[in-house]
Structures are given as structure tokens and as C-alpha cells.
Amino acid sequence: MKTRNNILTLGALVVFAMLLGLADRTVGNYAMRILNLSAIYIVLALSLNLVNGFTGLFSLGSAGFMAVGAYVSAILTMSPDVKDMNFFLEPLAPWLQGLTLPFGIALIAGGICAALAGLIIGLPVLRLRDDYLGIATLGFSEIIRVVITNLQSWTNGAQGLKSIPKVSTTWVVWGVALLAILFMSRLVHSSYGRQLKAVRDDEIAAEAMGVNVFRVKVVSFTLSAFIAGVGGALLGHMITTIDPKMFSFMLTFNILLIVVLGGSGSITGSVIASIAVTVLMEAMRFLDEPLNFLFLKTDGLPGLRMVVFSVLLMIVVIFRQRGLMGEREFSWEGLARAAGLMPRSKKGGLA
């Protein structure tokens, strides 16, 4: 059974890679960019799902950690010439000016710096709960933005960074997304993952069973910050331009929306929702432009797209309170059952 599933999974991965390679050659830059953006959103959604869905902490800090990852990695990969061009108001610190590292190392460095930021912020705020924690992490995220705006000689302030090497290729972003999925599924199905879920289900009981609740929260929060940092780094190296305004609360909101839509506590849900939301957001871009459809005429309503999207979100939340997947995960058996190839187990569902 296990080997059969492994073969199926491997086969699916090969097919997916071939499709991806085909798409990379045929569908054109615009479509490919959206596809790759959804891979980055997978990474980001998994990061938020780790704290919100699996550990039961209400965190709204994603954008802050992404910013740290994006800036750190960008400064590490840009060539000295590009740095000269960017930092025309105040020069970059000399030791960084000449430093150019391979993308892989910069990516990890971005993640580590975000994780450090997560650790520093986590130690004080993880003593808070629920909405208090949400507000504290949100505030932290905004503070990062303000700091970046004002650290002119490190970040180039409000001007942002331009001409970041465009190295987040299709293979890179989907490779990282795959690693993130693998990491998360190993984590949540391990003994450590059981501790996370124990903390989420009942902190008092978890503590009484010998789980160091505070420490588990800090670890989860820090790991999540690492993943968010890597996601931010990928994003910077895909769109090649970053500035502090990009990392506002709206970004966190989008990720939160994906997590809730897909199902808090479901990796599968986060993956599906990341792709669906990214593609739909683009597909509905026409809503913001002037409309002339039969008797329907508008002069372009910027934001209409968001309105439609929010309505969609409400509909999903009303009819499927726990998101598309709830807490269930994809499995080959579940797929076979859904397709009617195997009898339903008495527990039912896809899990």
C-alpha cells in the first residue's frame, strides 16, 4: 500500500514537472508569472497555516517576515553596480556594497533573518492570546515596514530596491513550494506536529501532559517566520522590485484569506486555495476596468475585484465554515473513494 502510494506520488510529480516544463515553453510570460506567483503563495500560506491552523495562534505578522526575507536576500544577490545605481541618496554600508552571494545562499539567509526577527518578537508576544496576539503581531509587522522605510543606508528607504536579479524562475519557485509542502507534511505528521496540535486543541491539557507549551509556540512561530522570509525572498526575485509599501497589511490579509478558504489546518487546502485565489484574482482583473457588457456599463471601478472576492469569501465561509478542506488532507485512497473506485470507509471523508 505504502510503496504503491509512493509510486503514485512520484508519478504525479513527474507528470506535474512535465506539464510545468511544457507550460514554461508555451503559455507565455504573463500566464507563467501568475502560475509562479501561486507557487510563492503556497509557500506563504503554508507558513501562516503552521501558526494559525496547526498551532492555533492568531498571527498577522506575515508581511513583516516577508519584508525581512525579501530585503536581506535582495541586498545579498545584487551586484555592486546595481547597488550603486539603487543607493544614490545614501551609500550602502561598505561591507555589503561589495558582497554578492549565490541566490540559494541569499534565500536561506533571508529565511534565517526572518526567523531571528520571529524569535525576537515571539518571545514577548507569544505570552498573549487570540486577538491580543493578532494585534501585537500586526503592530510588529507595521514596525518592520517603518524601520525599513527609515534605514536609508541599509534598505534605500522609501525608494525601495530595483533591478533585483530575476532568478525566481519556474523551477526555483515550484521547487521551493514542493520543499515547503514536504517539510510541512513531515512536520505535522510527526511527533512534534502532534505537540503543535495538542497546544491548539487544549493548552492546559497539553501542558499537563508534559508539553512545554510556550516553547512549542516559539518554535512554531520561528519556523513560520523562516518560511515566510523565504517566500518574501522568492517574491522579490520574481518581480525584481521591492519597496516598503508592498509589505502592508493587505499582503497578510491575502495570505490569511487563502488559509481560511483552503481550510485552517490543511496543507492540501492551502495549496489548492493558493492556486485558485491567485488565478481568480488575475482572471477577475477585468472587473476593475471599464465594463461594457450588454446593458451593464461602468466607468472602471477600481476595487470592484476585491469586493467580488470578499463576497466569494463570505459565501465559502458561510457554507463551508471550516474552509474547502476543513482539516482533511489529500490521499490516494481518498481520491479513489471520491472517484468511486473504492468503498467509503466508515469514517468517510477524504482523509
Partner 1 sequence: MKLVTHGATMRFGGLVAVSDLKLEIDKDEIVGLIGPNGAGKTTAFNMITGVYEPTEGRVVFEGEDITGKAPHRITKAGIARTFQNIRLFSTMSVVENVMVGSTVQEKPGWFTSVFGLPGARKRAKEAREFAMDLLQETGLAEFADEQATSLPYGKQRRLEIARALASRPSLLLLDEPAAGMNPQESLELMDFIHHIRDRFKLSILLIEHHMQVVMGVCSRMYVLDYGVTIAQGTPDVIRRDPKVIEAYLGVD
Partner 2 sequence: MLKIDNLSVHYGGIHALQGISLEVPEGKIVTLIGANGAGKSTTLKSIVGLVKPSAGSITWNGEPLITKGTKNIVESGIVLVPEGRRVFANLTVDENLSLGAYARNDKKAIESDRERVFTLFPRLKDRMKQKAGTLSGGEQQMLAVGRAMMTKPKVLMMDEPSLGLAPLVVKDIFTIIKEINAEGTTILLVEQNAKAALEAAHFGYVLETGRITMSGEGKKLLADDGVRKAYLGEAQ
Residues in contact with partner 2 by the rule CB under 8 A: 346-348
Q: Which is nearer to partner 2, 25 or 347 (CB)?
A: 347
CB closer to partner 1 out of 198 and 260: 198
Angle, in degrees to the nearest 10, between helices 62-77 and 29-49: 130
C-alpha cell read off for 125: 508576544
Q: DSSP for 82-125, please give it.
A: HHHHH-SSSPPPHHHHT----HHHHHHHHHHHHHHHHHHHHHHH
Q: How far is the CB of 238 from partner 1 (least distance, A)?
A: 26
Bridge partners of residue 161, in order along the sequence:
242
348 binds, among partner 2, partner 1, none (CB under 5 to 8 A by kind): partner 2
- Smallest distance, partner 2 to C-beta of residue 346, A: 3
- Choice between 219 and 258, CB closer to partner 1: 219
Binds 69: which of partner 2, partner 1, none (CB < 5-8 Å by kind): none
Q: Which of 124, 349 has the CB closer to partner 1?
A: 349
Angle in degrees, CA 307, 236, 73, rounded to 5: 145
Q: How far is the CB of 347 from partner 1 (least distance, A)?
A: 8
Q: Which does 25 bind (CB under 5 to 8 A by kind): partner 1, partner 2, none?
A: none
Helix (H, G, I), strand (E, B) or coil at 293: strand
Supply the DSSP string of 305-327, one letter for each residue: HHHHHHHHHHHHHHHSTTTTTTT
204 binds, among partner 2, partner 1, none (CB under 5 to 8 A by kind): partner 1
Q: Are 287 and 304 a contacting pair, CB within 8 Å? A: yes
What's the closest the beta carbon of residue 349 comes to partner 2, in angstroms? 9
The CB-of-17 to partner 1 minimum distance in angstroms stands at 23
Kindly list the residues in this chain that would bind partner 1 in the complex (CB under 8 A).
Answer: 183, 186-187, 190-195, 197-198, 200-202, 204-213, 219, 223, 265, 327
Residue at 257: amino acid letter: L
Determine the Cα angle at 244 with ends 176 and 58, to 5°. 65
Report what 208 binds from partner 2, partner 1, none; CB cut-off 5-8 Å by kind. partner 1
Q: Which residues contact 263 (CB under 8 A, 6 or more apart)?
A: 53, 269, 270, 273, 322, 323, 324, 325, 326, 327, 328
265 binds, among partner 2, partner 1, none (CB under 5 to 8 A by kind): partner 1
- Complex with partner 2: residue 84 or 130, whichever CB lies closer: 130
What's the DSSP call for residue 146? H
C-beta of residue 107 within 8 angstroms of C-beta of residue 73:
yes
- CB nearer to partner 1: give 215 or 285: 215
Using the minimum distance from each CB to partner 2, give the nearer residue, 302 or 348: 348
CB of residue 211 vs partner 1: minimum separation in angstroms? 5
**Closest distance of CB 131 from partner 2, Å:** 16
3-class secondary structure, 342: coil
**211 binds, options partner 2, partner 1, none, Cβ within 5 to 8 A by partner type:** partner 1
